[in-house]
Amino acid sequence: MANILAIDDSGLMQAFWVRILSRSQHNVITVSSGNEMRSVLATMSPQLIFLDLSFPGENGFELLQHIRRYQHCLEIPVIAVSGYAGEDTRQACREAGFTDFLAKPFSLAELRGMLARYLEHATNPRALAR
């Protein structure tokens, strides 16, 4: 069982993350803003983070910078989640330091594959993204 943080401003997506990831016996925390994210990360060290790219105010790229400022979050895999799945977006995510990219809509098989890849290899997640 892993602690997973899902950062998304959509209530529907938050409910989805809780429903699907809880079925796999993971502890899921959802937040809808950068302020909530910073509050959670001040007290928690998740094993995996799913981060939507589109937010009012701060975007996912800015939130990733905040995540990496926490010493305990330097090696946590952070998966960008977006409906904008073009190569430009994917390249921007790689350059920004996201560990991987999950395009909406995604299948349960894709999600399960990411969970297996990043939770099994949590000691060196960046090596897998290359």
Residue-wise pLDDT for 86-102, tens only, equals 999 999 999 999 999 99
Q: Which residues have a Cβ under 8 Å from the Cβ of 110 and sit 6 or more positions away?
A: 102
Give the tens place of pLDDT for each residue, 3-57: 999 999 999 999 999 999 999 889 999 999 999 999 999 999 999 999 999 988 8
Number of domains in the chain: 1
Range of the domain at 102: 77-130
pTM of this prediction?
Answer: 0.90
Q: Which residues have a Cβ under 8 Å from the Cβ of 1 and sit 6 or more positions away?
A: 25, 26, 27
Structure confidence at residue 130 as a pLDDT band (50, 70, 90):
very low
Q: Is residue 44 part of a domain?
A: no
Q: What is the per-residue pLDDT for 121?
A: 54
Q: What is the per-residue pLDDT for 57?
A: 84
Q: Is residue 111 part of a domain?
A: yes
